[in-house]
Amino acid sequence: MTNCLIIKKKIINFNKKIKVSGDKSLSIRWVLLASQADGISKAYNLLMSEDVLAAMDAIKKLGIKVNISKNYCEIFGNGINGFKFKKNLTINAKNSGTLARLLLGLLIKSPQKIKLTGDKSLSKRDFSRVALPLQQFGAKFYYKIKNKLPLSILGSQSTKGIKYLENKGSAQCKSSVMLAALNSSGTTSIKAKKSRNHSELLFKYLKIPIKIKKTKEYDFIDIKKPKKIKAFNYQIPGDISSSAFFMVLTTLSKNSRLLIKNVNINPSRTGVIIILKKMGAKIFLKNQRNYRGEKIADILIKSSNNLKAINCPSKLNSSAIDEFLVIFLVAAKAKGISYFKDISELNQKESPRLNWGSKILNMMGVKTKLTKDSIKIYGEPNLEITKPIIIKNYLKDHRVFMMSTIAALTCGGQWKIHDKDSINSSFPSFLKIVKKINNKSL
Ligand code: S3P
């Protein structure tokens, strides 16, 4: 089977109802927190992607039993710091920055050195951003190449709560420190720039002692070590980041309509909806409800033929951090020049995504002005690609693959997109859903 996707035709009008798979951030957090609970926790609609399977493999290596059935997954938690730390243990986080960084937070008491590895993309990413605060707790880090994987972590038996300033708006850094706080005496106080707050909501739901004070830009979070965490069942809602590709597919297609059922619309994740609506997209939230502190809704999207450029406010960056690539596609088809600023973090993802976004738009014939932390996109409302486009060597960044697929289906041209298997890290059913929307043809 070839690992390339060829697309030569635009998608035809559609009117469909779909479900996307479970939220990746919540799936990984559930696996890690269930491993620290006392007893059997069950998750339904857990994302079965490589990132989440790597999380399950990681806790299995640390002595936790995992049972995957057809409709649910069970984790037999062994309590806080209940991992079995064997000698010479190597854990492979594969492509997942979230798994690697959050797991390190749970390893700060390991009496043995544990080696953490990852794939080519993860091995290029910066680990000092979590190593620095975790060292403050008392953990030690050993590298071959400074701040990069593979690394080894050696814990300490006398971990104490720390004061930590999280200034990047990174939920991975914040959550890594929050998980380390579960294993430390005293109080851990975090001042964190706004970022997704799934860890905080789960801590509250699990009755872990947590206090949160919110200001406009920062959250002040105090955490104390709980006596124990009770096993818990969880129904994982659909992933808004996966949904975003279909929001854009519908927005850019003619006379089409799509209903995406049961999506997590936590306000710390809905930047994409706010930005697209400001640009003229027709997106409606239906049937809104709450689930354990998270907000859930069905999302209805209709085609839009009147898209306008945006000067995107930086305050929306963190809540749209994984969606910029598809947002750039909408900017490419909007009237006017769009401007996105203070987004250097995009180049710290699975690939240098800001650079890739610009490169792909240029290949499509759309002009951009790129700096280290911003991009201007010169929209072409009548854009029709007629030439061949080849996308390859992008470090298998799943979101680059999916953005390219949506571009091909909405802007024309003859596309050859390499490394189809990249979608397995976050959204293995992506192409099946595209086929369903496109009446089985692709
Ligand atoms: C995530 C946080 C974000 C995001 C990633 C998932 C999480 O990363 O890009 O896909 O689940 O905490 P940063 O914390 O590095 O911004």
Name the closest-CA residue to atom 13, ligand 1.
Answer: 170
CA 215 to chain centre: 24
Calculate the average pLDDT of the chain: 97
Q: Which atom of ligand 1 is nearest to the CA of 345?
A: 16
Choose which residue among 30, 125, 321 to substitute to test ligand 1 binding: the one with the highest number of ligand atoms within 8 A of its C-beta: 321
442 confidence band (pLDDT: 50, 70, 90): low
**Ordered domains of the chain (ranges, CATH):** 4-22+237-438 (3.65.10.10), 24-235 (3.65.10.10)
Q: 321 CB less than 6 Å from ligand 1?
A: yes
Q: Which atom of ligand 1 is nearest to the CA of 168?
A: 16
**Cβ contacts of 82 within 8 Å, gap of 6 or more:** 35, 36, 63, 64
403-418 confidence digits (pLDDT tens): 999 999 999 999 999 9
Structure-token pair, residue 127: 């680990």
Please tell me the distance from the alpha carbon of residue 314 to that of residue 333, in angstroms, as a whole number.
21
Question: How many A from CA of 142 to the centre of ligand 1?
Answer: 24
Q: How many CA atoms lie within 13 A of 163 on its CB side?
A: 0
Average pLDDT over residues 66-82: 97
Q: Name the residues annotated as catalytic.
A: 322
Choose which residue among 172, 272, 397, 399 to substitute to test ligand 1 binding: the one with the highest number of ligand atoms within 8 A of its C-beta: 172
294-315 confidence digits (pLDDT tens): 999 999 999 998 999 999 999 9
253-285 confidence digits (pLDDT tens): 999 999 999 999 999 999 999 999 999 999 999
Q: 166 CB less than 6 Å from ligand 1?
A: no
374 confidence band (pLDDT: 50, 70, 90): very high
In this model, does residue 351 exceed pLDDT 70?
yes
Choose which residue among 25, 173, 242, 399 to substitute to test ligand 1 binding: the one with the highest number of ligand atoms within 8 A of its C-beta: 25
**Cβ contacts of 53 within 8 Å, gap of 6 or more:** none
158-204 confidence digits (pLDDT tens): 999 999 999 999 999 999 999 999 999 999 999 999 999 999 999 99
In this model, does residue 93 exceed pLDDT 90?
yes
Question: How many A from CA of 419 to the centre of ligand 1?
Answer: 23
Average pLDDT over residues 358-387: 98
Query: Could you tell me if 81 and 183 are in contact, meaning their C-beta atoms sit under 8 angstroms apart?
Result: yes
Q: What pLDDT does 1 receive?
A: 64
Average pLDDT over residues 111-116: 98
Q: 172 CB less than 6 Å from ligand 1?
A: yes
Percent of the chain with pLDDT over 70: 99
439 confidence band (pLDDT: 50, 70, 90): confident
Question: How many A from CA of 190 to the centre of ligand 1?
Answer: 17
Q: 49 CB less than 6 Å from ligand 1?
A: no
Name the closest-CA residue to atom 5, ligand 1.
Answer: 98
Name the closest-CA residue to atom 10, ligand 1.
Answer: 322
Question: How many A from CA of 52 to the centre of ligand 1?
Answer: 14
Please tell me the distance from the alpha carbon of residue 53 to that of residue 31, in angstroms, as a whole number.
10
Q: 175 CB less than 6 Å from ligand 1?
A: yes
Query: Could you tell me if 408 and 415 are in contact, meaning their C-beta atoms sit under 8 angstroms apart?
Result: yes
Average pLDDT over residues 51-80: 98
Q: 98 CB less than 6 Å from ligand 1?
A: yes
119-146 confidence digits (pLDDT tens): 999 999 999 999 999 999 999 999 999 9
Question: How many A from CA of 162 to the centre of ligand 1?
Answer: 22
Task: Report the DSSP pairing between strands 114-117 and 89-92.
Answer: parallel
Question: How many A from CA of 374 to the centre of ligand 1?
Answer: 19
Name the closest-CA residue to atom 9, ligand 1.
Answer: 322
Q: 242 CB less than 6 Å from ligand 1?
A: no
Q: 171 CB less than 6 Å from ligand 1?
A: yes
Name the closest-CA residue to atom 15, ligand 1.
Answer: 170
Choose which residue among 33, 101, 174, 196 to substitute to test ligand 1 binding: the one with the highest number of ligand atoms within 8 A of its C-beta: 196
The whole-model pTM stands at 0.98
Q: 266 CB less than 6 Å from ligand 1?
A: no
Q: 170 CB less than 6 Å from ligand 1?
A: yes
In this model, does residue 287 exceed pLDDT 80?
yes
Question: How many A from CA of 170 to the centre of ligand 1?
Answer: 6
Nearest C-alpha neighbor of 75 from the set 300, 180, 229? 229
Query: Could you tell me if 431 and 420 are in contact, meaning their C-beta atoms sit under 8 angstroms apart?
Result: yes
